[in-house]
Amino acid sequence: MGRPRQVQICCSSKCLREIQPHEKAVALTCFAQTLGMGKRRSSKSERLFLCPQCAYRVAGVERQPSHTAPFDLAIFRVLLDLVGADPDVATAGWELLQQRRQTILYTPLALPEGEVLPPERRALKAG
């Protein structure tokens, strides 16, 4: 088991939502390395995170990036390899969609905190 996760931000510029430590996510790691300059040196790595919906969208819905955008193309290819190999990411994305459906369409609006409804007038007159 790895280090406990922290709150992350989905790295898709279309999303940028918080991914809580208990939520499902896809991690991308990148780092740089020198080549042909004597002793090979590597940078620290950076980890980026995508929510399952964005990972699925990039790999399965959006157009394949052009060869003139090699970094975007590389990310597309690693996501396609991961997401296309098993239904787990698609299933996790569907679970989020199911929660959103419940929240937006089927959760009744609550009264604001502390709001008190007045008693019916009729009851006071009867006594």
Name the residues that contact Zn ion, by CB under 5 A.
Answer: 10, 12, 15, 51, 54
| Distance from C-alpha of 102 to C-alpha of 60, rounded to nearest angstrom | 24
Max Cα separation, the chain? 98
Could you give the 3-state DSSP secondary structure of residue 30? strand
Shortest spacing between CB 61 and Zn ion, in angstroms? 13
Closest to 96 measured CA to CA, from 11, 36, 15: 15
13 or 107: whose CB is closer to Zn ion?
Answer: 13
Shortest spacing between CB 77 and Zn ion, in angstroms? 19
Give phi and psi for 28, each to the nearest 5: -120, 135
23 or 65: whose CB is closer to Zn ion?
Answer: 23
Contact 12, 50 (CB under 8 A): yes
Shortest spacing between CB 114 and Zn ion, in angstroms? 35
Burial class (CB in 10 A: 0-12, 13-18, 19+), 89: buried
54 or 83: whose CB is closer to Zn ion?
Answer: 54
12 or 73: whose CB is closer to Zn ion?
Answer: 12
Shortest spacing between CB 29 and Zn ion, in angstroms? 17
